[in-house]
């Protein structure tokens, strides 16, 4: 098969590709380290070492607007119809580059500390126990709807200080907003994302006002209070930060649990190794993140002249995509890379990114998934899938529609 034919099979609208993208990703990675995706209008990196280097390369950025106007790079102005979505992203860490990124990340890191995350453990265990006991009482349950979604949103909301009664609202907004990040979307989906962003902004502003009046020591309250050498966060910065913490954290954690538990169930002996304690839940988490990752593609803009990656010269203003699903199964980096090995425990994968945008929530996510896997193993030693699940029709955010289990 020619390279062009192979690239044509990288088709995010093809249900067969979405169901199992790995044969195409494997072939592409072995055929070439970089290719031009005409449909998306960007270069695409396939191999682990190039992706890892790109993540750390300061000549590439998640945005370019701190250096160039849209017009100067020949790019369209942002679509005014999606203004609320753009406003919600304006101060998101994921949309900033230094010096704004450095400043806001330093302030967020002062609040989102390893200590604050470790202190959450009893709360995480409490949420997991409550939900998993209900699942056990049912015998058969749907992991995402009955457990992972309410669990992950309860965790982030309790950390932020969002009232428990409002968690469903946040969940619905987050689901609608993140659809904007897919490679292929419709105006109806964009419009729903924009409406959700507008509502989310209003809600968060009201919450910030509440926290100013009555601080509770939780994250939003602390973001209002935090100071670094006289520097503080503005209301707009707190709105974006709060929203990125929910969006970035929630879907990826839910999908790691779904994709990872499916992988465990499909690989005989894996679950027994966790249940027996041969593989601690903490170790199992890493292979769940590597083998069928919840996030498949991240992009960067070329900000400087003279950038060459994988032998390809790139121009200022060009976009480079990194294929995590291809890189995470690169045999140049991982022994027997295609094999799901629940005991592999390789923590140096790129599931949480790298460089200055490395996932702020990685310690929380690892702890959330570990507590969940341990809770499942303690209650369901003979866990099995009721039916083979299907994937949502998305490529970038890869997750199951449902995962029916019985123990
Ligand atoms: C298994 C779950 C998770 C995965 C796989 C994941 C993955 C990632 C990745 C790959 C990035 C880097 C993106 C890039 O370089 O372009 C990132 C950034 C980020 N993540 Fe996560 N994440 C997870 C959970 C969380 C959680 C629980 C939170 C917060 C509660 C969170 C908050 C963030 C934030 C704020 C950033 C942006 C950091 C920056 O730009 O400086 N993530 N995440």
The answer to whether the beta carbons of residues 174 and 250 sit under 8 Å apart is yes
CA–CA distance, 293 with 301 (Å, rounded to integer): 23
**241 phi and psi, to 5 degrees?**
-65, -45
Instruction: Give the pLDDT of residue 116.
Output: 87
Report the atom number in ligand 1 closest to the C-alpha of 293.
5
CB distance 295 to ligand 1 below 6 Å: yes
Dist CA 30 CA 46 (whole Å): 8
Q: Can you tell me which atom of ligand 1 is nearest the CA of 256? A: 1
Look up residue 352 and give its two tokens.
Answer: 């949480």
3-class secondary structure, 394: coil
Contacts with 137 (C-beta within 8 Å, 6 or more apart), sequence order? none
- The SS3 of residue 309 is strand
**Separation between Cα atoms, residue 165 and residue 9, nearest integer Å:** 45
- What's the DSSP call for residue 148? I
Q: Which atom of ligand 1 has the smallest separation from the CA of 350?
A: 10
What token pair was written down for 4? Answer: 């062009």
Judge if the beta carbon of residue 158 lies within 6 A of ligand 1.
Answer: no
Q: Which helix (H) or strand (E) holds 162?
A: none
CA of 249 to the centre of ligand 1 (A): 6
pLDDT of residue 226: 87
Q: Distance of alpha carbon 286 from its chain centroid, rounded?
A: 15
Q: What is the pTM of this model?
A: 0.94
- Domain boundaries defined on the chain: 3-406
Q: How many CB atoms lie within 10 A of CB 115?
A: 7
Which of 362, 364, 370, 372 is the best mutation target for the ligand 1 pocket, counting ligand atoms within 8 Å of the beta carbon and taking the most? 362
The topology (CATH level 3) of 3-406 is Cytochrome p450 (1.10.630)
Which position has the token pair 């400087």? 304
Q: What is the reported pLDDT for 120?
A: 92
Each of the 407 residues of the chain gets a pLDDT tens digit; together they read 899 999 999 999 999 999 999 999 999 999 999 999 998 999 999 999 999 999 999 999 999 999 999 999 988 899 999 999 999 999 999 999 999 999 999 988 888 888 889 999 999 999 999 999 999 999 999 999 999 999 999 998 999 999 989 988 988 998 899 888 777 789 999 999 999 999 999 999 999 999 999 999 888 999 998 876 778 889 999 999 998 888 888 889 999 999 999 999 999 999 999 999 999 999 999 999 999 999 999 999 999 999 999 999 999 999 999 999 999 999 999 999 999 999 999 999 999 999 999 999 999 999 999 999 999 999 999 999 999 999 999 999 999 999 999 98
Q: Which of 361, 367, 369 to mutate to test the pocket of ligand 1 (most atoms within 8 A of CB)?
A: 361
Q: 20 CB contacts (<8 Å, ≥6 apart)?
A: none
Q: Which of 359, 367, 371 has most ligand 1 atoms within 8 Å of CB, for mutation?
A: 359
**Would you state the pLDDT for residue 47?**
98
> What is the pLDDT at residue 53?
98
Q: Is 156 near ligand 1, meaning CB less than 6 Å away?
A: yes
């Amino acid at each position: 098969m020619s390279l062009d034919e192979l690239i044509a099979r990288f088709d995010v609208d093809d249900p067969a590709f979405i169901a199992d993208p790995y044969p195409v990703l494997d072939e592409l990675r072995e055929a070439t380290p970089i290719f031009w995706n005409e449909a998306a209008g960007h270069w695409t990196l396939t191999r682990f070492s190039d992706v890892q280097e790109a993540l750390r390369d300061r000549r590439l950025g998640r945005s370019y607007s701190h250096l160039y106007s849209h017009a100067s790079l020949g790019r369209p102005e942002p679509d005014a119809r999606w203004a609320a979505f753009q406003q919600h992203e304006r101060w998101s860490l994921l949309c900033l580059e230094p010096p704004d990124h450095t400043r806001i990340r330093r302030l967020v890191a002062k609040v989102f500390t390893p200590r604050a995350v470790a202190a959450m453990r009893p709360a995480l265990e409490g949420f997991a126990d409550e939900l998993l006991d209900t699942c056990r009482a049912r015998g058969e349950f749907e992991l995402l709807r009955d457990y992972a979604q309410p669990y992950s949103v309860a965790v982030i909301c309790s950390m932020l200080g969002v009232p428990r009664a409002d968690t469903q609202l946040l969940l619905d907004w987050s689901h609608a907003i993140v659809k904007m990040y897919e490679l292929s979307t419709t105006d109806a989906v964009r419009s729903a994302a924009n409406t959700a962003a507008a509502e989310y902004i209003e809600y968060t502003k009201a919450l910030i006002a509440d926290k100013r009046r009555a601080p509770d020591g939780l994250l939003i309250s602390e973001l209002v209070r935090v100071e670094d050498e006289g520097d503080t966060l503005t209301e707009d910065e707190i709105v974006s930060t709060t929203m990125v913490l929910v969006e970035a954290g929630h879907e990826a954690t839910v999908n790691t649990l779904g994709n990872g538990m499916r992988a465990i169930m499909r690989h005989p002996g894996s679950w027994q190794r966790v249940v027996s304690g041969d593989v601690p839940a903490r170790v199992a988490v890493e292979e769940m993140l590597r083998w069928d990752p919840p996030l498949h593609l991240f992009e960067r803009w070329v900000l400087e002249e003279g950038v060459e990656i994988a032998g390809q010269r790139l121009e200022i203003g060009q976009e480079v995509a990194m294929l995590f699903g291809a890189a995470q199964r690169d045999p140049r980096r991982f022994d027997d890379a295609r094999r799901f090995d629940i005991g592999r425990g390789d923590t140096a994968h790129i599931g949480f990114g790298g460089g200055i945008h490395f996932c702020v929530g990685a310690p929380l996510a690892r702890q959330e998934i570990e507590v969940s896997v341990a809770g499942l193993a303690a209650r369901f030693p003979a866990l099995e899938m009721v039916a083979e699940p299907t994937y949502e029709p998305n490529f970038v955010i890869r997750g199951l529609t449902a995962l029916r289990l019985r123990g």
